[in-house]
Amino acid sequence: MAAMPFAGLAMPRTAFAQAPATSAVNTTGLAVTDTDVTVGILHSVTGTMAISETGSVQAEKLAIEQINAEGGVLGRKIKFIQEDGGSDWPTFAEKAKKLLVNDKCAAVMGCWTSASRKAVLPVFEQYNGMLYYPTFYEGLEQSKNVIYTGQEATQQILAGLDWVAKEKGAKTFYLLGSDYIWPRTSNKIARKHIENVLKTKVVGEEYFPLGHTQFNSVINKIKLTKPDVIYAIIVGGSNVAFYKQLKAAGIDLNKQTLMTISVTEDEIDGIGGENIAGAYACMKYFQSLDNANNKQFVSAFKKMWGDKTVIGDVTQAAYLGPWLWKLTVEKAGSFDIDKVAEASAGVEFKQAPEGYVKIHPNHHLWSKTRVGRARPDGQYDVIYETAELMEPDPFPKGYQ
């Protein structure tokens, strides 16, 4: 039923008969049979993170269905086992272990928050599994057992700051964030770039507890300092409160430049397009991206999950996971984790909705970074994209 945008890559139907023998492609006892291969999906379906992770689950299921429609991986259909992390990090670790040890999954698509990834990482390293992690995150991590399909912080941040400095002539920045690792690390990178590279100034930097809902005081400070750019990395329910109160306080985002790296189309659903219209977001994917791959992806996604669903950056990155895994397995000619991990570097996915991506030897993706401008209808207008692919650099020198 799903669209088949990847006809060029598709295995011929007859491949089933010629599929390589299981003993040859699976030497370590993974859940691979002559006809199918099992992967895991590990996200929160319940708890506070369910809001964010739902889209990723949907994208992964879509990708798996499309891959199966094309003939599967090395002639084997993908079966998936879905586990609920329940927004609880030990549960993630526990379920990861179950997927690897009991279910022998050949790969796991999953996790969303850094905390959940940090919790499962030792499990994946100990039991030698393969995790495809979709979220843009703070970097400072690299593992043989993880492919990071979202952007790390420098990829996401630097291009946007360069753009806003050049296009808007921005000289002063006010950094805001929810008080945890990703915003703090990202703002740190942003501050170094603003001060050392752009030679401009940070006039304020502030953090709020997760779930904070009162932003009037900081909005007053912003009014007092009149920064050229508000750089906001606020997440979750706080996001909604922040943009509503910003608008209510008379700060018109069409006049005041605001740049965020935390608001995807998913978040706008809750914030309300009219409250954030005019803001700039800097990430690698927007639903409105105009290319043939993306159009097919969006229509397939809506066909599967309903017209009203929106697709954000992370959802697209989650969609890349199963495809990258399939391509890597076929490149390696084996499901073995070690071979897949080794073959990952250099795997290219030309049909990605965001455009061409390639896996870097550090297991992050080369990708373009784009700036979008929020429209009142909850979508972004893509107004800028980097000419070149941005190199992922999870341990950026000079930014730590």
Partner 1 sequence: MFGEYSLGELTSIFVMQGFAGLILFSVFLLMALGLAIIFGQMGVINMAHGEFMILGAYVTWMCSTFFHGYLPALVPIYFFIAMILAFLVSGALGVAVEWLMIRRLYKRPLDTLLATWGLSLILQQFYRSVFGPREVGVELPQWMLGSLPVTDVIEIQINGLFVMALTTIITIAVAVMMYRSRWGMQVRAVVQNRVMAGAVGINTEKVDRYTFGIGCGIAGIAGSAFTMIGSTGPTAGQLYIVDTFLVVVFGGAASLAGTIASAFTISQAQSIMEFFLSGSIAKVLTLLAVVGILMLRPQGLFVLKVRR
Partner 2 sequence: MVIRSKSADDTAFMKPLEIVSILIIAALILVVLPATLDAFRLNLVGKYLTYAFVALGLVLCWGFGGILSLGQGIFFGLGGYCMAMYLKLEASSVANTKIQSTPGIPDFMDWNQLTELPFFWLPFKSLTLTVILIIAVPTLFAFFIGAAMFKRRVGGVYFAIITQAIAAILTILIVGRQGYTGGINGITDLRTLQGWDIRTDSAKQILYFVNSGLLIACILLAQYVKRSKLGRVLVAMRDKEDRVRFSGYSVANFKIFAFCLAAAFAAIGGAMFTLQVGFMSPSFVGIVPSIEMVIYTAVGGRLSLFGAVYGTLLVNVAKTAFSESFPELWLFGLGALFIAVVMVFPNGLAGIYHSYVDPLVARLTRRRPAETEQPLHGAPAE
Residues engaged in binding partner 1 (CB under 8 A): 45-48, 50-51, 54, 179, 205-209, 211-214, 216-221, 223-224, 236-241, 244-245, 247-250, 266, 268-275
DSSP secondary structure letter of residue 394: S
Q: Among 27, 33, 102, 220, which residue interacts with partner 2 (rule: CB under 8 A)?
A: 102
Smallest distance from the beta carbon of 93 to partner 2, in angstroms? Answer: 7
CB nearer partner 2, residue 142 or residue 288: 142
Q: Does residue 118 touch partner 2 according to CB under 8 A?
A: yes
**Identity of the residue numbered 173:** F
According to DSSP, residue 20 is labeled P
CA 263 – CA 256 distance, rounded (Å)? 17
In the complex, least distance from residue 306 CB atom to partner 1, rounded to whole angstroms:
10
Q: Which is nearer to partner 1, 20 or 272 (CB)?
A: 272
Q: How many CA atoms lie within 13 A of 50 on its CB side?
A: 7
d(CA 137, CA 130): 18
Which residues between 132 and 161 bind partner 2 (CB under 8 A)? 140
Number of CB atoms found within 10 A of residue 243's CB: 29
Binding mask 271-310 for partner 2 (x = CB under 8 A): ----------------------------------------
Let me know: does 157 contact 261? Beta carbons within 8 Å.
yes
Footprint (CB under 8 A) of partner 2, residues 337-376? none
Residue 387 is encoded by which pair of tokens? 């000419």
Phi, psi of 204 (to 5 degrees): -170, 150
Asked if residue 209 binds partner 2 (CB under 8 A), the reply is: yes
Question: DSSP characters for 30-67?
Answer: -SB-SSEEEEEEEE-SSSTTHHHHHHHHHHHHHHHHHH
CB of 233 to partner 2, least distance (A): 14
Q: Quick one: 19 or 219, whose CB is closer to partner 1?
A: 219
- Residues 380-399: x where in contact with partner 2 by CB under 8 A, - otherwise, as a string: ---------------x----
Contacting range for partner 2; rule: CB under 8 A; set: 22-30, 65-73, 202-210, 336-344 = 202-210
Residues 6+ positions from 399 with CB-CB distance below 8 Å: 154, 188, 189, 192, 193
Q: Are 62 and 302 in contact (CB under 8 A)?
A: no
In the complex, least distance from residue 392 CB atom to partner 2, rounded to whole angstroms = 17
Least distance from C-beta 265 to partner 2, angstroms? 24
Q: Is 186 in the site for partner 2 (CB under 8 A)?
A: no
Q: Which does 90 bind (CB under 5 to 8 A by kind): partner 2, partner 1, none?
A: partner 2
Cα–Cα distance for residue pair 118/144, rounded to 1 Å: 14
Alpha-carbon distances, residue 213 vs 236, 337, 382 (angstroms): 10, 44, 30
Asked if residues 38 and 31 have their Cβ atoms less than 8 Å apart, the reply is yes
Q: How many residues contact partner 2, by CB under 8 A?
A: 34
Does position 103 interact with partner 2 (CB under 8 A)? The reply is: no
- Maximum CA pair distance of the chain? 71
Query: Is 354 within 8 Å of 285 (Cβ atoms)?
Result: yes
118 binds, among partner 2, partner 1, none (CB under 5 to 8 A by kind): partner 2
Task: Count CA atoms closer than 13 A to 259's CA, side-chain side.
Answer: 29
306 binds, among partner 1, partner 2, none (CB under 5 to 8 A by kind): none
Burial class of residue 122 in the structure, from the number of CB atoms within 10 Å of its CB (0-12 exposed, 13-18 middle, 19+ buried): middle
Contact pick of 88, 152, 228, 265 for partner 2 (by CB under 8 A): 88
Select the binding partner of residue 83 from partner 1, partner 2, none (C-beta < 5 to 8 A, by kind).
Answer: partner 2
Beta-carbon count within 10 A of 107 CB: 29
Select from partner 1, partner 2, none the partner in contact with residue 196, using the beta carbon and a kind-dependent cut-off of 5 to 8 Å: none
Min CB(368)–partner 2 separation in Å: 27
Residue type, 1: M
Footprint of partner 2 (CB under 8 A): 45-46, 83-84, 86, 88-91, 93-94, 97-98, 101-102, 113-115, 118-119, 121-122, 126, 140, 179-181, 184-185, 207, 209-210, 395, 400
